[in-house]
Amino acid sequence: MVEELLLGDNPFIGVSHLAQAKARESVGMGVDSFVKVVTTAWESGATGFTFSTHPTNLEILRGLAGDDRGVLTRLNYYPLVPYGMGYVRASNVTGLPGLGKMILKRSLTKMSSLGWLVKAAIGLNPSILLAMQLAEDLAPFMEVLPRQRVRAVLLHEVLTEVLVAHDAPQIYETLRDYLRSSYGVEVGLETRNIHHLKLFMEKHGLRIPYIMTPMNPLGYQMTPDRERAEKAIRLLGGQSRIIAINILASGALSLEEAIKYILKFDPYGVAVGTSKAWRARENFKRLRDAVTGRS
Amino acid sequence: MLIEDGSHATMVSVNMLPDLGELYPEGGLVGRLDELRGLKVVIIGFGKMGLLHSTILSLLLQNPPRAIVDKSLTVRLGFSRLFGKKAVFHKNLEDALRDGADLIYVTTPTPSHYPILRTILSREDIRGVFVEKPPTATHIQLKELAGAVGRRAVMVGLQKRYSLPFRHGKILLEEGAVGEIEGVECYIKSGDILEKTSRFDAVGRGVLLDLGIHLVDMLSWLFGDLRVEEAAFKSIYTNVDDHFWLRLSSRDGFEIRAEVTWSDPAFRVPETLIRIRGSRGSLEVTEDYLKITSPQLNKAFYRPHYYQGLPPVLVADPEFTIENMHLLLRLLDGGEPATSLRRSEPGMRIVEEAYSKAEKIG
């Protein structure tokens, strides 16, 4: 049964998998209107918010804190780290070695993580430094969010695909342990290569509590093809909580088409993004009705 | 299928796309990946692009690179500890080549492409080479290297040509869908450089060479022989060109106006747009969509129409996987890659001509 109906943040931070021109339009709408989208989504049946650690999302969450109905404390949260484009931009200016050195310097100033730093030094384990950087990215968000409402932190695909491709489960394990000890949260993965993730998990006997992945009847962003992605989703759904994203194939499908398809897989969560309050009202009401069997 | 397009909704039909075999011949690789098992891949330069190609290839071939070369101790130490013993990191190219290599990726900073490619192309045992764009810092260097390729598959990472909307646009132009071309407006823009950096001082050239090469390469591919009529640039955050304007003329008599920048904060990710006015209609194409307008026709195709269950691996944009698949197919079947060194020459010639004619403004 679908337990979570999540509002996605893509339109708030200028991401569109349909056309960048659309994303640029929505970014200009401003934080106040995005706060309105979140509150309207909640009024209409959304149970949570999934977002990247982008500064705009922090502003939105701070804006929600001012809502006198307590919306901030009623939603569940699934933050994604790292905000990939932020690091890509930084590496454009400094290069990747420069970025690595910056992360190292920042980590060394975190005396609160002394125990982990010692572990990193003894084991020559840069995964710990990466984990410390992700924790720092999360820190301002964790200050705003009610801690018990943060259901899981998800590693963004820029990290997931690298660790799956390079067969490095130890990176995931280190990040998971560090973030768990820092914030007491579960750590999941977001991927657009679900079949490869399945092979990786099977090979290493890994259990990932939450997996976020595109699911739509067009097979858009489902690899290596729709059939094998579906098979992986069904199989992993038995052990992980699957959160479906890009269910509308970036706007190529109607909500009805998307719902009909998604319900066949019975995912744990479904995420949809919009930059317009009226659409949030319409979409979440229809989604809520569909998952509760009212339509 | 319904796509929202501004204030109105347009009905578009997937079956209006060209045949998939024509649009995406690289799909032929999917059933043949087993033929590439054990391929020895070496990556030189493990920055952002090295990591991207390493990730795509590892997922496609189910086999991480045999060796990775990087001058930086931070990179070698950091990634070798991160990845464990799956890939061997070297400081020098010679050490990496000692165990043999079938396919080499050159993803180092631009000034080093020329000497590295010279070394690689002097070896007969290497079957394929990929070099990130721009292939070299100058057109002369590229011409010299193109002569040394022989029968090997040597390809430049001009991945926009592997983007399906652009390929669709080329097919439509060849079919005369907009009639005789009357004029072209285009840009490639990103927000990659929004703070001061001296990173590009070594190469002495900026956005036109680094990012604009994609656009001018595609203009040559779409419209054939072009000449630079006017060029101007502005420095904003670097000591080189951050914003470039070009006016080009074609042999067929139409004019192309192009704008190139990496310092536009509105562009979260790079976008390439080409708008073609013809005697029977117009065509607008980006990495994301293709729109064709004429008195009889008004159609739009978006990413979800093109990329349904393809490509088989998705890391960053789909065209990155498709360009890798293209090279792997050439490795199997022979033949010159679509963006070989030789075929990259017209774009590099335009870049060279533009720098020689450019006036600094602002």
Kindly state whether residues B165 and B306 are assigned to the same domain. Answer: yes
pLDDT tens column, B111-156: 999 999 999 999 988 999 999 999 999 999 999 999 999 999 999 9
Tell me if B202 is assigned to some domain: yes
Structural domain containing residue B175:
2-20+161-310+342-360
Chain A segment 125-164 residues within 8 A of B by beta carbon are 125-127, 130, 157, 161-162, 164
Tell me if B354 is assigned to some domain: yes
Residues in chain B within 8 Å Cβ distance of A126: 77-78, 81-82
As given in the structure block, the two tokens for residue A211 are 């997996």
Chain A segment 62-81 residues within 8 A of B by beta carbon are none
**Is B90 a residue whose pLDDT tops 60?**
yes
Q: How confident is the model at residue A117 (pLDDT cuts 50, 70, 90)?
A: low
Residues in chain A within 8 Å Cβ distance of B310: 225
Task: Supply the pLDDT for residue A115.
Answer: 67
Per the DSSP assignment, residues forming a β-bridge with B103 are B41, B128
Tell me if B327 is assigned to some domain: no
**Is B21 a residue whose pLDDT tops 50?**
yes
Q: For residue B124, what is the domain's CATH number?
A: 3.40.50.720
Task: Supply the pLDDT for residue A69.
Answer: 86
- Given CB atoms, is A121 within the 8 Å cutoff of chain B? no
Q: Which of B199, B303, B312 sits opposite A93 (nearest CB)?
A: B199
Tell me if B323 is assigned to some domain: no
Contact A176, A189 (CB under 8 A): no
Q: Determine whether the interchain pair B86/A96 forms a contact, defined as Cβ–Cβ distance below 8 Å.
A: no
Chain A segment 221-250 residues within 8 A of B by beta carbon are 221-227, 229, 249-250
Contact B129, B108 (CB under 8 A): no
Across the range B290-307, mean pLDDT stands at 91
Residues in chain A within 8 Å Cβ distance of B267: 20, 24
Which of B210, B315, B320 is most worth mutating to test chain A (most A CB atoms within 10 A of its CB)? B315
Cα-flanking dihedrals φ and ψ of residue B89, to 5°?
Answer: -100, 135
Kindly state whether residues B191 and B205 are assigned to the same domain. Answer: yes
What are the DSSP E strand ranges found in A76-233? 76-81, 152-155, 186-190, 210-214
Kindly state whether residues B150 and B97 are assigned to the same domain. Answer: yes
A-chain residue closest to B305, CA distance = A252
Q: CA of B304 to nearest chain A CA: how many angstroms apart?
A: 6
Which of B268, B274, B287, B290 is most worth mutating to test chain A (most A CB atoms within 10 A of its CB)? B268
Phi-psi region of A176 (alpha: psi -120 to 50; beta: other; left: phi over 0): alpha
Kindly state whether residues B88 and B136 are assigned to the same domain. Answer: yes
Highest mean pLDDT among A114-118, B3-7, B357-361: B357-361
pLDDT tens column, B28-39: 999 999 999 899
pLDDT tens column, A225-283: 999 999 999 999 999 999 999 999 988 999 999 999 999 999 999 999 999 999 999 99
Task: Supply the pLDDT for residue A217.
Answer: 97
Task: Supply the pLDDT for residue A15.
Answer: 72
Q: Determine whether the interchain pair A19/B288 forms a contact, defined as Cβ–Cβ distance below 8 Å.
A: yes
Task: Supply the pLDDT for residue A107.
Answer: 64
Question: What's the pTM value of the predicted model, to 2 decimals?
Answer: 0.92
Task: Supply the pLDDT for residue B121.
Answer: 95
Q: CA of A146 to nearest chain B CA: how many angstroms apart?
A: 30
Sign of CA dihedral B258, B263, B267, B272: positive
pLDDT tens column, A174-233: 999 999 999 999 999 999 999 999 999 999 999 999 999 999 999 999 999 999 999 999
Q: CA of B354 to nearest chain A CA: how many angstroms apart?
A: 24
Residues in chain B within 8 Å Cβ distance of A196: 59, 313
Contact B332, B158 (CB under 8 A): no
**Is A116 a residue whose pLDDT tops 80?**
no
Q: Which of A100, A168, A251 sits opposite B78 (nearest CB)?
A: A100
**Nearest CA to A132 among A151, A147, A119?**
A119
Task: Supply the pLDDT for residue B2.
Answer: 38
Where among B140, B158, B176 does a domain terminate? B158
Kindly state whether residues B275 and B211 are assigned to the same domain. Answer: yes
Tell me if B66 is assigned to some domain: yes
Kindly state whether residues B228 and B356 are assigned to the same domain. Answer: yes
Tell me if B315 is assigned to some domain: no
- Given CB atoms, is A292 within the 8 Å cutoff of chain B? no
- Give the ipTM of the model, two decimals please: 0.92
Q: Which of B64, B289, B315 sits opposite A167 (nearest CB)?
A: B64
Q: How confident is the model at residue B1 (pLDDT cuts 50, 70, 90)?
A: very low
Tell me if B283 is assigned to some domain: yes
Task: Supply the pLDDT for residue A99.
Answer: 64
Kindly state whether residues B13 and B31 are assigned to the same domain. Answer: no
Task: Supply the pLDDT for residue B6.
Answer: 37
Task: Supply the pLDDT for residue B8.
Answer: 34
Kindly state whether residues B245 and B292 are assigned to the same domain. Answer: yes
A-chain residue closest to B75, CA distance = A97
Average pLDDT, chain A: 89
**Is B7 a residue whose pLDDT tops 50?**
no
Kindly state whether residues B102 and B36 are assigned to the same domain. Answer: yes
**Is B3 a residue whose pLDDT tops 60?**
no
- Given CB atoms, is A97 within the 8 Å cutoff of chain B? yes
Residues in chain B within 8 Å Cβ distance of A193: 59, 313-315
pLDDT tens column, B46-70: 999 999 999 999 999 998 898 999 9
Cα-flanking dihedrals φ and ψ of residue B296, to 5°?
Answer: -95, -15
Higher pLDDT, B119 or A83: B119
A189 Cβ contact list (under 8 Å, min separation 6)? A154, A155, A160, A172, A197, A208, A210, A211, A212
**Is B89 a residue whose pLDDT tops 90?**
yes
Which of A163, A173, A198, A223 is most worth mutating to test chain B (most B CB atoms within 10 A of its CB)? A223
Residues in chain A within 8 Å Cβ distance of B309: 218-220, 222-223, 225-227, 229
Q: How confident is the model at residue B205 (pLDDT cuts 50, 70, 90)?
A: very high
**Is A87 a residue whose pLDDT tops 80?**
no
Where among B158, B180, B209 does a domain terminate? B158
Number of domains in chain B: 2
Question: A58: burial class by Cβ within 10 Å (0-12, 13-18, 19+)?
Answer: middle
Kindly state whether residues B225 and B348 are assigned to the same domain. Answer: yes
Distance from C-alpha of A99 to C-alpha of A94, rounded to nearest angstrom: 6
B-chain residue closest to A102, CA distance = B74
Distance from C-alpha of B164 to C-alpha of B17, rounded to nearest angstrom: 10
Kind and range of the H or E run holding B350: helix B341-357
Task: Supply the pLDDT for residue B340.
Answer: 98
Task: Using alpha carbons, list the distances in angstroms from residue B2 to A97, A110, B13.
Answer: 45, 51, 9
Task: Supply the pLDDT for residue A114.
Answer: 64
Sign of CA dihedral B262, B263, B268, B272: negative
Where among B139, B158, B177 does a domain terminate? B158
Residues in chain A within 8 Å Cβ distance of B30: 224
Kindly state whether residues B149 and B212 are assigned to the same domain. Answer: no
Kindly state whether residues B193 and B287 are assigned to the same domain. Answer: yes
Task: Supply the pLDDT for residue A126.
Answer: 83
Angle at A138 between CA A134 and CA A143, to 5 degrees: 150
Q: For residue B16, what is the domain's CATH number?
A: 3.30.360.10
A169 Cβ contact list (under 8 Å, min separation 6)? A163, A200, A204, A206
Sign of CA dihedral B264, B268, B269, B271: negative
Tell me if B322 is assigned to some domain: no
Q: Determine whether the interchain pair A95/B3 forms a contact, defined as Cβ–Cβ distance below 8 Å.
A: no
